Amino acid sequence: MAFVAKNKPNDVPRQVKKPAAATETERVCPRCKSKLDVGKLWENRNVCSCGYHFKLKARDRVALTVDVDSFEPLWEDITSVDVLEFPGYENKLELSRYVAGEADAVVCGRAKISGRPCILFAMDPFFMMGSMGAAVGEKITRAFELATEEGLPVVGFTVSGGARMQEGLISLMQMAKTSAAVQRHSAAGLLYLTVLTNPTTGGVTASFAMLGDVIFAEPGATVGFAGARVIEQTVGKKLPQGFQTAEFLLAHGFADAIVPRDEQRWAIGNMLKLHAVSA
Amino acid sequence: MAKAKNKSTPAYDRVRAARGGKRPTGLDYVKGVFSDFFELHGDRAFSDDAAVAGGIAWLYDKPVTVIALEKGHSTKERSKRNFGSPHPEGYRKALRLMKQAEKFHRPVVCFVDTAGAYPGVGAEERGQGAAIAENLLALSGLRTPVLSIFIGEGGSGGALALSVADEVWMLENAVYSVISPEGCASILWKDASKAPEAAAFLRLQAQDALEMGVCDRILPEKGLGSRAFYRDLSRLIYDKLTELSALDAEALVGARYARFRQFGTGA
Ligand SMILES: [Zn+2]
């Protein structure tokens, strides 16, 4: 059974209007409520002066992280297929391809950071909230397999609502598949560095996101396994302030460092250099 | 139409059956299938999670590491066992016992029955996501045979954390799903009462899992919980473990990798 397909070119979505976001010139910071000029915000890597980190498209993440002209994308035509004929999924896929401008929710490729080669992946929050179906699982797995084969480190930016329920058990199996690929990469003595960004939850947290040798988190990012609302309903209590944030993760020992966006390039490059010297 | 939405579906009937309180639970299987089970407690880091019971038992002439998600029978026991929903320390206890099994070349048999990993404050503080992830990683490379048997509910990552196995078997009425039908219906239609419809779309029945290659064998429930039922299951497990134990560790782990690698390899 084929669970992923090549993306058909000219895949024109039905009944899809151009999203308003594409033409906006001003955004409001959800934290400090300031009105921000989109151009100026981008110059500051989509970080408000109050420190709030706005979401980034996968390609923008890549652009902000890698050495100029060093990125060579891989497996760009892999996209998920609606194998279960799940209600509304086909249309959601088409809308996401249009809005995110990607074939699925992760971008992979070869890259250099501070001159060091690596395999890079960046998930896209605008493609079905970065959820993991067969295509995402396949690309992440291939990234680790290629890196293992070539003896390269993997650097990954996670942002995900978790497993993509529209693909049922096959999406759940991606958690096992990706973790198994991380295991082989790790057993080969190679470095895996993750940067957890807002939000990283569910099946992605419970698989490759939390398996990094080194785990960075973006300030204020929500990172957790269960959704806050589900927890609140289960325990019948208000959740503590700052629950499931990057800072919470650091305090409980599940992240190595909180690294703001403007320091990530340097911090990742530094880690790659530290692991490029064999004793 | 308003009434029709609450009508059950064959898939949802299975979910109800899988959750049914009268089914044998994990430890019933352990006692029925194996002999002289000796329970080993604790994760050596935080506490002992009663939702996960583990230890060593005999299967005829083989020592086997057995791990069972246990929901409990009485109200009191169910509450003590947190209705079979583990905390991170439960997964870490399971991991400790799996590593121990690998060290002493014992096969591992898991009995899976859980609505899912527990969504709670303490669970998040202690890294529920990380605990599950570490189990997936460790199981995928564990150099000893692993067999997982779904005896009731297989709730998402919380069930997967004990079933990155060489084979996955499911009881006829067991289910395995990426999300609960209620959760799915809430997200899709903002209406949890449409769970029966969601269950049908999720393809969560044992037969579905078999067709997708997620499950390798369906166990009929004829005589469920009887002496003959457990005896037949003991023999099936014994034969499978004998077969898997004959493989060298490299081949075993390679086949396990291939088993999970196939999900989504493309056209
Ligand atoms: Zn702000």
The whole-number pLDDT of residue B264 equals: 84
Q: How far apart are CA B34 and CA B51, in angstroms?
A: 20
Q: Is the model's pLDDT at B15 over the cut of 60?
A: yes
Test the B interface: residue of A183, A185, A232 with most B CBs within 10 Å: A183
Q: Is the model's pLDDT at B144 over the cut of 80?
A: yes
Same domain, A131 and A223: yes
B9-34 average pLDDT score:
94
B80: contact with A, CB 8 A cutoff: no
B192: contact with A, CB 8 A cutoff: no
pLDDT in tens, B88-124: 999 999 999 999 999 999 999 999 999 999 999 999 9
Same domain, A239 and A251: yes
The whole-number pLDDT of residue A248 equals: 98
Amino acid at B255: A
A141 close to A173: Cβ distance less than 8 angstroms: no
Cβ–Cβ of B133/A211 closer than 8 Å? yes
Residue B248 domain-assigned? Answer: yes
Same domain, A165 and A40: no
Q: How far apart are CA B240 and CA B244, in angstroms?
A: 6
Residue B189 domain-assigned? Answer: no
CA distance A34 to chain B (A): 32
CA distance A26 to chain B (A): 30
CATH number of the domain at B96, please.
Answer: 3.90.226.10
Q: What are phi and psi of A120, to 5 degrees?
A: -115, 140
DSSP classification of residue A18: P
B114: contact with A, CB 8 A cutoff: no
Q: For the packed helices B181-189 and B10-19, what is the interaxial angle rounded to 10 degrees? A: 130
Same domain, A48 and A73: no
Specify the number of domains making up chain A. 2
- Half-sphere exposure in the Cβ direction for A126 (13 Å, CA): 20
pLDDT in tens, A72-126: 999 999 999 999 999 999 999 999 999 999 999 999 999 999 999 999 999 999 9
Provide the domain limits for residue A104.
56-278
B186-196 average pLDDT score:
93
A228: contact with B, CB 8 A cutoff: no
Choose the final residue of a domain: A38, A55, A72.
Answer: A55
Same domain, A154 and A41: no
CA distance B228 to chain A (A): 32
Residue B1 domain-assigned? Answer: no
The whole-number pLDDT of residue B3 equals: 45
Task: For chain A, 279 residues long, give each residue's pLDDT as a single digit of tens.
Answer: 455 665 544 444 444 444 555 567 899 999 999 999 999 999 999 999 999 999 999 999 999 999 999 999 999 999 999 999 999 999 999 999 999 999 999 999 999 999 999 999 999 999 999 999 999 999 999 999 999 999 999 999 999 999 999 999 999 999 999 999 999 999 999 999 999 999 999 999 999 999 999 999 999 999 999 999 999 999 999 999 999 999 999 999 999 999 999 999 999 999 999 999 765
Ligand 1: distance of its center to the CA of A162 in Å? 27
Q: What are phi and psi of B77, to 5 degrees?
A: -70, -40
Residue A264 domain-assigned? Answer: yes
The whole-number pLDDT of residue B117 equals: 98
**What are the residues whose beta carbons fall under 8 Å from the beta carbon of B183, sequence distance 6 or more?**
A230, B192
A29: contact with B, CB 8 A cutoff: no
Residue A14 domain-assigned? Answer: no
Ligand 1: distance of its center to the CA of A221 in Å? 14
B16-20 average pLDDT score:
91
Cβ–Cβ of B261/A230 closer than 8 Å? no
SS3 A192: strand
Q: How far apart are CA A215 and CA A230, in angstroms?
A: 26
Which residue among B129, B137, B212 places its CB closest to the CB of A224? B129
Same domain, A60 and A45: no
Residue A36 domain-assigned? Answer: yes
Residue A12 domain-assigned? Answer: no
CA distance A77 to chain B (A): 11
CA distance A165 to chain B (A): 6
Ligand 1: distance of its center to the CA of A33 in Å? 6
Q: Which pair of tokens denotes residue B209? A: 């899992």
* Nearest alpha-carbon partner for B45 in B12, B8, B88, B78: B88
- A to B CB pairs, distance under 8 Å: 185
The whole-number pLDDT of residue B265 equals: 64
Residue A16 domain-assigned? Answer: no
The whole-number pLDDT of residue A9 equals: 40
Residue B2 domain-assigned? Answer: no
Same domain, A30 and A86: no
Tell me if ipTM is over 0.90.
Answer: yes
Residue B194 domain-assigned? Answer: no
Specify the number of domains making up chain B. 1
Same domain, A43 and A136: no
**What are the residues whose beta carbons fall under 8 Å from the beta carbon of A138, sequence distance 6 or more?**
A4, A75, A78, A174, A177, B264, B265, B266
Q: Which residues surround ligand 1, an ion (CB under 5 A)?
A: A 29, 31-32, 48, 50, 52
Cβ–Cβ of B188/A87 closer than 8 Å? yes
Residue A11 domain-assigned? Answer: no
Q: Which pair of tokens denotes residue B44? A: 């050596």
CATH number of the domain at A184, please.
Answer: 3.90.226.10
In this structure, the number of other CB atoms found within 10 A of the CB of residue A214 comes to: 19
Which residue among A6, A176, A243 places its CB closest to the CB of B267? A6
Residue B151 domain-assigned? Answer: yes
B164: contact with A, CB 8 A cutoff: yes
**What are the residues whose beta carbons fall under 8 Å from the beta carbon of A96, sequence distance 6 or more?**
A102, A105, A126, A127, A128
Cβ–Cβ of A182/B137 closer than 8 Å? yes
Q: How far apart are CA B63 and CA B59, in angstroms?
A: 6
- Bridge partners, A217 (sequence order): A196, A258
Which residue among A170, A224, A231 places its CB closest to the CB of B263? A170
Residue A61 domain-assigned? Answer: yes
Cα distances (angstroms) measured from residue B42 to each of A122, A143, A156, B160, B215:
38, 36, 34, 21, 30
pTM: 0.95
Location of structure tokens 């990683």: B137
Cβ–Cβ of A174/B130 closer than 8 Å? no
Chain B CB contacts of A168 below 8 Å: 177-178, 201-204, 208
Q: Which pair of tokens denotes residue A253? A: 């020992």
Total number of residues shown for chain B: 267
Host H or E run for residue A28: strand A26-28
B204-210 average pLDDT score:
97
Same domain, A69 and A200: yes
Q: How far apart are CA A133 and CA A123, in angstroms?
A: 12
Amino acid at A92: K
Ranking A227-236, B78-87, B137-146, B155-164 by mean pLDDT, the lowest is A227-236
Residue B73 domain-assigned? Answer: yes
Residue A18 domain-assigned? Answer: no
B57: contact with A, CB 8 A cutoff: no
Cβ–Cβ of B208/A203 closer than 8 Å? no
Q: What are phi and psi of A30, to 5 degrees?
A: -65, -20
Cβ–Cβ of A3/B265 closer than 8 Å? yes
Provide the domain limits for residue B139.
21-176+204-229+240-257
Same domain, A198 and A130: yes
**Which residues, numbered 156 to 195 in chain A, qualify as contacts with chain B under a Cβ-Cβ cut-off of 8 Å?**
163, 165, 167-177, 179-180, 182-184, 186-187
Residue B77 domain-assigned? Answer: yes
Largest CA distance in chain B: 59
Cβ–Cβ of B164/A84 closer than 8 Å? no
Which residue among A3, A133, A168 places its CB closest to the CB of B203? A168
